[in-house]
Structure 1
Amino acid sequence: MTAEAVVTVRLVRSFEHRNFKPVVFHGVRLEQTVQDFMQLVKDDIATRPGFPPPFRKYSYDTMKIIHQAHGAKTNELVMSLDDDETLILQEGQTLRAAGVAHETEVAFFRKEDYSLYKANPQTAW
């Protein structure tokens, strides 16, 4: 198993409007903590050229595994609302301990938005 992985981070700005932007990170150290990785993503998108300001300045605070390589994908357009207790990454864990592996896709979002959407999962156009 390699120490570095490719991880796709789906920045979720709005669940209702299906407003998200995937960003691919190469060379991700799976031994770093979840909070270190969150900070790395925030720092990266703050300085990434051509990145839209609404995504750049958003207050993301939670990560959840959407998809593992060679696993089944969800039918949800933004992310699944199931299995929060196993799929939401806990801050004290390393990425590897949290279940992140090479070619994992994770959502990065604001927990408050997710809770509101989960209580009433309607999409708007």
Structure 2
Amino acid sequence: NAPFSVVTVRLVRSFEHRNFKPVVFHGVRLEQTVQDFMQLVKDDIATRPGFPPPFRKYGYGILHFKLAIFICFFCFQTNELVMSLDDDETLILQEGQTLRAAGVAHETEVAFFRKEDYSLYKANPQTAW
């Protein structure tokens, strides 16, 4: 239970095209809320040097975005390349919770995505190459 953890965030632009970019965040406080962490990610994307414009300009407004656990070092694995489509109640983080209470631990990987895109993809999980 270190005070600061490493969390990898998969910025998902497209589920269908499996277009995402992993970004590693060091020194993450697991006692912050999910909503505070999403704002930190959004702010980082806007200012990170050398960050690709398609991801920087995607419009990561936190009201329309969600975080979901993708990989937890001591938890489960998924066969999905972008994120799991199962068990939304457990994997999608609730904004009022702390990261720790939501199940995020050191070396957890989470997906940051538009909830509308996820709903459409989950209804028809077809990939386009």
Give the TM-score category using the shorter length.
0.7 to 0.9
1:91 Cα shift?
A: 0.4
**Identity over the aligned pairs, expressed in percent?**
96
Q: Output the aligned Cα RMSD.
A: 3.3
Instruction: Please report how far the alpha carbon of residue 117 of structure 1 lies from its aligned counterpart in structure 2 after TM superposition.
Output: 0.2
Query: 1:104, CA displacement in angstroms?
Result: 0.3
- Matched residue count: 112
Question: How far off is 1:21 after superposition?
Answer: 0.1
Which stretches in structure 1 are left out of the alignment for 5+ residues? Answer: 68-72
Q: Distance in 2 between matches of 1:18 and 1:44?
A: 22
Q: Deviations over 1:38-88 (max 9, x none)?
A: 00000001111111112112233xxxx999xxxxx2111111100100110
Q: C-alpha displacement at 1:89, in angstroms? A: 0.5
Would the alpha carbon gap of residues 66 and 101 (structure 1) be closer, same or farther in structure 2, given more than 3 Å must change? Answer: farther
Q: Contact 1:15–1:123 (CA<8 Å) still a contact in 2?
A: yes
Query: Does the 8 Å contact 1:66/1:80 carry over to 2?
Result: no
| Residue segments in structure 2 that go unaligned for 5+ positions in a row | 65-76
TM-score normalised over the length of structure 1? 0.85
In the superposition, the TM-score normalised over structure 2's length comes to 0.82
